[in-house]
């Protein structure tokens, strides 16, 4: 992967960024996304945030190599701390982290979200926890997607300021994704169902591991089976 040839998940993230945006890409991985958006004249300005000096150096090198130093700033900092008020960032992208970590980054940086029009998030896991945070902090989910990449299945969630109420199952399965039931989405939940059934069998074979855990797994299995039963 490089800035001219983004990975499948980052291609989807890039496609969701509106023309003329000022973006912050947190945990930028060589600033590939930011460089792509600038070179394709989608973003006008970008912040590439890194939490460690090594990745920061890599991002700066890529930015210089691609001749976009006037439009992209690589900054060292923890999460949204790299964003300054004068940046007038209106789109924040966070990709390639666990949902719990993305949630923490957003929560720790709440004051940086004023004026932000879109959050484009790609959690590796923990989508439910991320959706919980969004609806609890006045963001509504406006787009969801799912993509297969290197034997992994990644969800992409876009949210904008606004009110939204989600049921427990919508938080788990995604309010938009659960209506689409595309092939990748179906594969994800078939894989999860298989994993949970193995856990259930193991818990049944070893009751000492706890009834509460067994009840939780059994409910998750039931929810997934019910979701599949509604597929037309």
- Whether 107 and 13 map to the same domain: the answer is yes
Q: Domain for residue 3, yes or no?
A: no
Q: Domain for residue 170, yes or no?
A: no
**CB distance 211 to 228 below 8 Å:** no
- Whether 161 and 219 map to the same domain: the answer is no
Q: Domain for residue 1, yes or no?
A: no
Q: Domain for residue 144, yes or no?
A: yes
Mean pLDDT calculated for residue range 75-100:
97
- Whether 16 and 119 map to the same domain: the answer is yes
Alpha-helical runs (H) found in the chain:
8-15, 32-39, 53-65, 99-108, 127-136, 168-173, 177-180, 183-205, 211-229
- Name the residue with tokens 């939780």: 216
Residue 230 pLDDT greater than 80, yes or no? no
**CB distance 26 to 105 below 8 Å:** yes
Residue 143 pLDDT greater than 90, yes or no? yes
- Whether 197 and 148 map to the same domain: the answer is no
- Whether 141 and 208 map to the same domain: the answer is no
Report the number of distinct structural domains present in the chain. 2
The set of residues, in sequence order, having a beta carbon less than 8 Å from that of 122 and lying 6+ positions away, is: 9, 10, 12, 13, 94, 95, 96, 154, 155, 156, 157
- CATH value at residue 50: 3.40.50.150
Q: Domain for residue 155, yes or no?
A: yes
- Whether 15 and 83 map to the same domain: the answer is yes
- Global confidence as pTM: 0.94
- Whether 154 and 199 map to the same domain: the answer is no
36-53: pLDDT as tens digits: 999 999 999 999 999 999
190-216: pLDDT as tens digits: 999 999 999 999 999 988 778 888 999
157-190: pLDDT as tens digits: 999 999 999 999 999 999 999 998 799 999 999 9
Can you give the pLDDT at residue 211? 87
**CA–CA dist 74, 72 (Å, integer):** 7
- Whether 142 and 218 map to the same domain: the answer is no
Q: Domain for residue 174, yes or no?
A: no
| DSSP H/E element including 120 | strand 118-123
Q: Domain for residue 172, yes or no?
A: no
Can you give the pLDDT at residue 180? 83
**CB distance 97 to 155 below 8 Å:** no
Q: Domain for residue 178, yes or no?
A: no
Task: Provide the residue count of the chain.
Answer: 232
**CA–CA dist 4, 36 (Å, integer):** 6
- Whether 219 and 118 map to the same domain: the answer is no
| DSSP H/E element including 140 | strand 139-149
The domain of 134 spans 8-165
């Amino acid at each position: 992967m490089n800035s001219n040839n983004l990975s499948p998940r980052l291609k989807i993230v890039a496609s969701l960024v509106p023309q003329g945006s000022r973006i912050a890409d947190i945990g930028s991985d060589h600033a590939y996304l930011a460089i792509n958006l600038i070179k394709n004249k989608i973003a006008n300005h970008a912040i590439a945030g890194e939490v460690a000096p090594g990745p920061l150096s890599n991002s700066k090198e890529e930015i210089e190599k691609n001749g976009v130093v006037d439009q992209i700033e690589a900054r060292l900092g923890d999460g949204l701390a790299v964003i300054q008020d004068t940046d007038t960032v209106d789109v924040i992208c966070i990709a390639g982290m666990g949902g719990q970590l993305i949630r923490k980054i957003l929560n720790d940086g709440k004051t940086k979200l004023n004026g932000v029009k879109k959050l484009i998030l790609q959690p590796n896991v923990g989508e439910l926890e991320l959706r919980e945070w969004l609806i609890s902090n006045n963001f509504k989910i406006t787009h969801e997607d799912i993509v297969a990449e290197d034997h992994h299945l990644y969800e992409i969630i876009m949210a904008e300021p606004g009110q939204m109420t989600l049921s427990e199952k919508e938080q788990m399965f995604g309010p938009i994704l659960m209506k689409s039931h595309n092939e990748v989405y179906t594969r994800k939940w078939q894989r999860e169902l298989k994993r949970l059934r193995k856990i259930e069998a193991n818990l049944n074979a070893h009751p000492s591991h706890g009834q509460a855990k067994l009840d939780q797994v059994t409910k998750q299995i039931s929810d997934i089976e019910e979701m599949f039963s509604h597929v037309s």
